[in-house]
Chain A
């Protein structure tokens, strides 16, 4: 897959994984596993990028006697997901056109 496309896709994928409730690294990987294979290093990069873009915030909480980082989505992040959906509605309609016309021949 095109690198640029994949990056955008994974960003929104991670944002969606933390949308309904705050989450942590391992849970994000587990939740997205059925759909996409995220390595730990890749996830770190994505989380860092989203944090820098102010699409999520990070806080630390104690869990079982150790520290764990939690990620919370911001309004910016929610906006990004919505934007993405809108963009892809267009992509899908073009895709359907391509498939439909392809069948005619």
Chain B
């Protein structure tokens, strides 16, 4: 792949991003390739070292905040005529509420993912409290209600403690998984916004 081919491909792939930002990045890669060639690499090699346009595109998408991509997507590509503006204004009750609903859905997805994480840890904390309190209660029962009664409660509490330790690892694993999942979702969301027009 030549330098020009690489830059052109990347430009098309990033056409839904802010123009200024894309140009700045393209200049950066262009300078990089020129410097590599000056250092003795062939054009082919220099481009290869940067990576494929797809790989570079993914790295760039991860880098740009969601709102910027969304804003660029909403912005009209040409000037609107008077009747289009009128339609947009008249239709505001419809599209505005749809937009709000769409954003609310995404927002609630993220919130619920985090809520699940928080509640998992809350369960973990209450398990600790339960097993510790149970253990203490067992000791008290030992004196008040006798050996068997107290012993049974202490035994249950120790079993609960073991369960709590296992639950800690489950919690940790799930928290990490949820975090990764939300990150991945955001990336896919960004990507889908960019891809639509050049698919």
Q: Which residues in A have some Cβ–Cβ distance to B below 8 Å? A: 24-27, 39-42, 44-45, 64, 66-69
Query: Which A residues are CB-close (under 8 A) to B29?
Result: 40
Q: Are B34's CB and A41's CB within 8 A?
A: no
A102: min CB distance to chain B, Å: 25
Tell me whether B28 is interfacial, beta carbon within 8 Å.
Answer: yes
Q: Which of B27, B34, B38, B63 contacts A45 (CB 8 A)?
A: B63
A3: min CB distance to chain B, Å: 11
Q: Among A24, A41, A69, which residue has the most Cβ atoms of chain B within 10 A? A: A41
Q: Which of B31, B38, B56 contacts A67 (CB 8 A)?
A: B31
In the assembled complex, the Cα of A26 lies from the Cα of B41 at a distance in Å of: 13
Query: Which A residues are CB-close (under 8 A) to B28?
Result: 25, 40, 44, 69
| B55 (CB) vs chain A CBs: closest residue | A41
| B57 (CB) vs chain A CBs: closest residue | A41
| A42 (CB) vs chain B CBs: closest residue | B59
Tell me whether B88 is interfacial, beta carbon within 8 Å.
Answer: no
Q: Are A26's CB and B39's CB within 8 A?
A: yes
Q: Are B32's CB and A26's CB within 8 A?
A: yes
Q: Are B31's CB and A25's CB within 8 A?
A: yes
Q: Mask for B163-174, Cβ within 8 A of A = 1, else 0?
A: 000000000000
Q: Mask for B49-62, Cβ within 8 A of A = 1, else 0?
A: 01100001001100
Q: Are B35's CB and A24's CB within 8 A?
A: yes
In the assembled complex, the Cα of A27 lies from the Cα of B32 at a distance in Å of: 9
Query: Which A residues are CB-close (under 8 A) to B63?
Result: 41, 45
A83: min CB distance to chain B, Å: 25
Q: Taking chain B's interface residues, is the majority helix, strand, or loop, or is none over half, making it mixed?
A: helix
A65: min CB distance to chain B, Å: 10
Tell me whether B25 is interfacial, beta carbon within 8 Å.
Answer: yes
Query: Which B residues are CB-close (under 8 A) to A68?
Result: 31, 35
Q: Are B60's CB and A69's CB within 8 A?
A: no
In the assembled complex, the Cα of A68 lies from the Cα of B34 at a distance in Å of: 10
Q: Are A40's CB and B39's CB within 8 A?
A: no
| B58 (CB) vs chain A CBs: closest residue | A41
Query: Which B residues are CB-close (under 8 A) to A67?
Result: 27, 31
A59: min CB distance to chain B, Å: 13
Q: Among A25, A26, A39, A45, which residue has the most Cβ atoms of chain B within 10 A? A: A26
Tell me whether B36 is interfacial, beta carbon within 8 Å.
Answer: yes
Query: Which A residues are CB-close (under 8 A) to B27?
Result: 67, 69
Q: Among B29, B31, B50, B60, which residue has the most Cβ atoms of chain A within 10 A? A: B31
Q: List 17 A-B contacts (CB under 8 A).
A: A24-B31, A25-B28, A26-B31, A26-B32, A26-B35, A26-B39, A27-B35, A39-B59, A40-B29, A40-B32, A40-B50, A41-B56, A41-B60, A42-B59, A66-B31, A67-B31, A68-B31
